[in-house]
């Protein structure tokens, strides 16, 4: 909020830093409950997005069911436990800034660096 108002005054608009992914709070809560994995499940990674360039993967929908993709567990070392918290952590940053995400893919945990893009 403290960064948004000056940008609105200066530029007449606010450009939200983004990863280029699709997430959903309700679906995320269900997945966290079903799997016991805390974080934000990436439902879709938009082609050509910052997340795509960083190698992040969204869920894979198959006839047999949905295979979860990457789960973001922290942004810049700060934990993420909901979609709202993920968006708040990104709002602490600027478009073009590089940020390290802690990501879980299956049982594997890793750090991924992403250059934030302009969102809407």
**CATH number of the domain at 17-118, out of 2.40.110.10, 2.40.50.1070, 2.30.30.60, 2.30.42.10?**
2.30.42.10
Q: So what's the pLDDT on residue 64?
A: 83
CA–CA separation, 87 and 73 (whole Å)? 13
Could you tell me whether strands 40-41 and 71-75 are parallel, antiparallel, or unpaired per DSSP bridges? Answer: antiparallel
pLDDT of residue 65: 79
Could you say which DSSP state residue 88 is in? Answer: H
Tens digits of residue pLDDT in 28-56: 999 999 999 999 999 999 999 999 999 99
What are the domain boundaries of the chain? 17-118
pTM, full prediction: 0.88
11 pLDDT above the threshold of 70: no
Q: What is the pLDDT of residue 61?
A: 80
Collapse the DSSP code of 89 into the 3-class scheme (helix H, G, I; strand E, B; otherwise coil) and give the result.
Answer: helix
Cβ count near 90 (within 10 Å) = 23
Helix intervals (H) in the chain: 4-11, 25-35, 50-53, 83-91
């Amino acid at each position: 909020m403290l960064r948004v108002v000056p940008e609105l005054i200066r530029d007449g608009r606010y450009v939200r830093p983004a990863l280029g992914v699709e997430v959903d709070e309700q679906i995320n809560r269900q997945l966290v409950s079903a799997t016991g994995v805390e974080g934000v499940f990436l439902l879709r990674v938009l082609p050509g997005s910052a997340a795509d360039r960083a190698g992040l993967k969204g869920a894979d929908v198959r006839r047999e069911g949905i295979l979860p993709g990457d789960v973001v567990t922290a942004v810049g070392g700060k934990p993420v436990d909901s979609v709202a918290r993920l968006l708040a952590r990104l709002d602490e940053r600027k478009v073009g800034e590089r940020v390290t995400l802690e990501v879980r893919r299956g049982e594997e945990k890793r750090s991924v660096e992403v250059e934030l893009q302009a969102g809407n």
